[in-house]
Amino acid sequence: MNSLVKPQRVKVAVATPTAPDGGYAWFVLLSCFLVFGLTFGVIKAFGVFYVEIHQYFETTATGTSWITSIAVATIHIVAPVASALSARYSHRSVVILGGLICSIGVIIGSFAHNLIGLYFTVGFLNGFGYALTWTPTVTMLGLYFEKRRPVANALASAGECILTFLLTPLIQLLIDSFSWRGALLIVGGLQLNLCVCGMLLRPLKGTRHKSHASDVKAEEEGMNLESLTKDDSEQSKHCLEEVGQRLPEGSDQRKVKKGYSLEELDEKPTTIDSKRRAKRTELRTKILQYVDYTLITNARFMVYSMFGVFAALGFFAPALFLVPYARSKGIEEYQAAALMSISAVFDLFGRVFFGWVANLRLVKTVQQLTATVILLGTVLLLCPLASSFPELAAFSAAYGLVFGATVAIHITVLAEVVGVQRLGSALGFFMLIRSSGGLLGPPIAGFFIDKMSDYGTGFLMAGVALIISALFLLLLHQMNRREQRSTQKTHDMQLDNMGQTFSAEAKELDVTLTMEK
């Protein structure tokens, strides 16, 4: 009697998606461009709010700086969560959610009655939303671009410069017209555009290959599987009988008889241990799909993360204190705000130009990053020498140019350290580790400003932190060279072994031919 063949489940193999480096990738680049502008661009323009909030609540420089500090730290800490949520759901939905959260946080913050309220809304909620928007978008950009990745990262990060250039005088105008509360309310509404950025993110799909089998082949495979199971069952029974015969007659363990079933065999301790190991392996595999925690064992990644910690100490303080520093030197409001616009213009040029230079591969990207970080630290150390508007404008131009050159390639270096397939988790962990620097940078600078009663000391602290961060980049470069030498040595040894094997075979062939002659 012929039995019906049950439909077999057909496994679908999905090929690894390839980066198109064009087409819809440009819309993803546009989305990332706007995300950079509406997140870090707003943070850099917050220096205009700093002066007004500082005077309104009559607080210290350290107390006011905690607003930006909490936002920056939250971005970094929540980045791994954003990566995991993107892997579990989708990049698009996570970015839309983040846009709603940060917009609501800033809008509620415009009604805050004390600094604690601003810490929670403009600081924590806003930073939480930024993390959910920035991290998935940058990850998606890395997947869509490969050959043009340095240029793509540079163009995307240019959104931070352009929005800073536009928002700084605009926010000053809004503050003069509607007070800092009204200006903050309008900025919160503007950040709803982050939801539109999320809608532009389309998943990069791979080619799906389905293996179709006929019913006859499926039936034959089922028969083969059944016969294989029977053979295994008979071998297991035979082995169990032999073990039972070797055990003592009175032993409780001699309960293995000829009819011992495979279900009873599964209850043995060794099988239970193997099941537990299989469950642990399965759980580990599921976790790694969302968060690649093995990155913390990667020495090169951890060294690069330490660079990020010290770099974050100096990255965010200058943008926050540039306008207050200019105001303390007697520069009028709109001229002080114009300094941020000057910095943003040169920042834009630095990102695009040095991103293009990195794409030429004239030097190794980590070497280029080391040089720009050292230059940035040096420029910040020279800032207290500027006091007039022309001098401050020159400093702003130099600071923006070198800052743009640094930011344009630091994500590209991260992709080279861990590989593009691990970029999502690596970016999350990198931001998490760097969070300590982002959290402590502005308050430490504010502490020195309060003690010395001079905003210039904040720039000195930032410059020293960046010089220290460059030391970790030098260490990373040495580790890369050592790894390359080790790889080259292994390759040479393999070639030598192949050559020796070929020579031995040739000699044997010559001996054989000689004997035959």
Q: What is the pLDDT of residue 375?
A: 93
Q: What is the pLDDT of residue 128?
A: 94
- Name 58's Cβ contacts closer than 8 Å, sequence gap at least 6: none
Give the 3-state secondary structure of 241-310.
HHHHHHCCCCCCCCCCCCCCCHHHHCCCHHHHHHHHHHHHHHHHHHHHHHCCHHHHHCHHHHHHHHHHHH
Torsion sign, CA atoms 17, 19, 20, 22 = positive
pLDDT digits (tens, 9 = 90+) for 418-453: 877 777 677 777 877 887 887 788 888 888 888 888
Q: How far, in Å, are 66, 329, 333, 515 from residue 461 at the CA level? A: 17, 19, 25, 82
Longest dimension (CA), the chain: 105
Which residue ranges of the chain lie beneath pLDDT 70? 1-19, 205-270, 272, 279-280, 282-293, 424, 491-492, 496, 499-517
pLDDT digits (tens, 9 = 90+) for 201-260: 888 765 333 333 334 343 344 444 444 444 444 444 444 444 444 444 444 444 444 444
Question: Is 3.40.50.720 the CATH classification of the domain at 20-201+294-483?
Answer: no
Q: What is the pLDDT of residue 224?
A: 44
For the chain, domain boundaries: 20-201+294-483
The b/e string for 142-155 (b: 16+ C-beta within 10 A; e otherwise) is: bbbbeebbbbbbbb
Q: What is the pLDDT of residue 449?
A: 84
- The reported pTM is 0.62
Task: Return d(Cα 315, Cα 136) in angstroms, integer.
Answer: 22
